[in-house]
């Protein structure tokens, strides 16, 4: 059964907490991204954990192996349930992150690798003019080989990635209900189509955070997902 993750991309810590409070009992997972983590730091991870949420810390790490390994250990000690790095950081960085998580006491968070950002369309990646889907699959194959649990990819790539890398889980942002605006996302998909494609986790931000009634928006998306 696919899981809905609500991206708490909000301009204030308190706004995120208020929204999460209203979503308790409707969704199980929240995502703390760069904006919320810069604003609220480790304390906001603790707040959402105390509220009973599974916490996905989406910092998309990309640095030298030693720095990323130390950062993922610190995130694991905070109690996050899932975190991300960029697969474009390469084999040594991804393997170092996985080894660092193995060495941590306590439950190991899921480690996901970003393939190609869903805001990127053809021509947007510097010095790359090839097929974005093929690049995402190549990066996913690396992710599997280097010990990652899953990849972040567009819904359009889920089927091919699952065929090429059985066992790898897929997390898809760029989810838009049929009636919603795409905003800055370029490779979007409806919740139902993403689930049909085989996605395991659907990340949704603005269609919920900016909805007039966020709880109803989340419920509608869950219904569309068949949950």
Q: Which is nearer to ligand C5P, 28 or 60 (CB)?
A: 60
Segment (H or E) for 21: helix 13-23
Identify the burial level of 36 via C-beta atoms within 10 angstroms of its C-beta, where 0-12 means exposed, 13-18 middle and 19 or more buried.
buried
Looking at beta carbons only, is 205 or 214 nearer to ligand C5P?
A: 205
220 binds ligand C5P per the rule CB under 6 A:
no
State yes or no: residue 155 binds ligand C5P (CB under 6 A). Answer: no
Contact 159, 198 (CB under 8 A): yes
- Contact pick of 17, 59, 96, 152 for ligand C5P (by CB under 6 A): 152
Closest of 189, 87, 187 to residue 140, by C-alpha = 87
Q: d(Cα 222, Cα 208) in Å, to the nearest integer? A: 11
Shortest Cβ 14–ligand C5P spacing (Å): 19
Task: Characterise 22 by phi-psi region: left (phi > 0), alpha (psi -120 to 50), beta (else).
Answer: alpha
Contact 89, 139 (CB under 8 A): no
Active site residue 60: yes
Q: Which of 45, 139, 204, 218 binds ligand C5P (CB under 6 A)?
A: 204
CB of 105 vs ligand C5P, minimal distance in Å: 29
Q: Which of 31, 49, 60, 186 is catalytic?
A: 60
Q: Which is nearer to ligand C5P, 5 or 101 (CB)?
A: 5
Contact 94, 146 (CB under 8 A): yes
Q: Least CB distance from residue 205 to ligand C5P, whole Å?
A: 3
Residues engaged in binding ligand C5P (CB under 6 A): 7, 9, 33, 58, 114, 117-118, 152, 173-174, 183, 185, 203-206
């Amino acid at each position: 059964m696919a899981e809905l993750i609500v991206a708490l991309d909000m301009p204030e810590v308190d706004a995120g907490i208020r929204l999460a409070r209203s979503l308790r009992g409707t969704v199980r997972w929240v995502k703390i991204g760069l904006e919320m983590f810069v604003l609220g730091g480790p304390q906001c991870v603790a707040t959402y954990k105390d509220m009973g949420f599974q916490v996905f810390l989406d910092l998309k790490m990309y640095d030298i192996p030693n720095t990323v390994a130390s950062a993922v250990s610190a995130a694991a000690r905070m109690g996050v349930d899932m975190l991300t790095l960029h697969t474009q950081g390469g084999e040594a960085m991804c393997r170092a992150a996985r080894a660092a998580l193995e060495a941590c006491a306590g439950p190991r968070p899921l480690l996901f690798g970003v393939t190609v950002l869903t805001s990127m369309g053809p021509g947007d990646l510097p010095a790359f003019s090839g097929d974005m889907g093929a690049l995402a699959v190549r990066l996913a194959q690396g992710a599997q080989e280097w010990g990652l649990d899953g990849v972040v990819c567009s819904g359009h790539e889920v089927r091919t990635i699952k065929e090429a890398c059985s066992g790898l889980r897929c997390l898809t942002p760029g989810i838009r209900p049929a009636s919603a605006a795409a905003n800055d996302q370029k490779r979007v998909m409806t919740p139902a189509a993403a689930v049909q494609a085989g996605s395991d986790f659907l990340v949704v931000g603005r269609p919920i955070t900016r909805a007039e009634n966020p709880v109803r928006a989340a419920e509608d998306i869950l219904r569309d997902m068949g949950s």
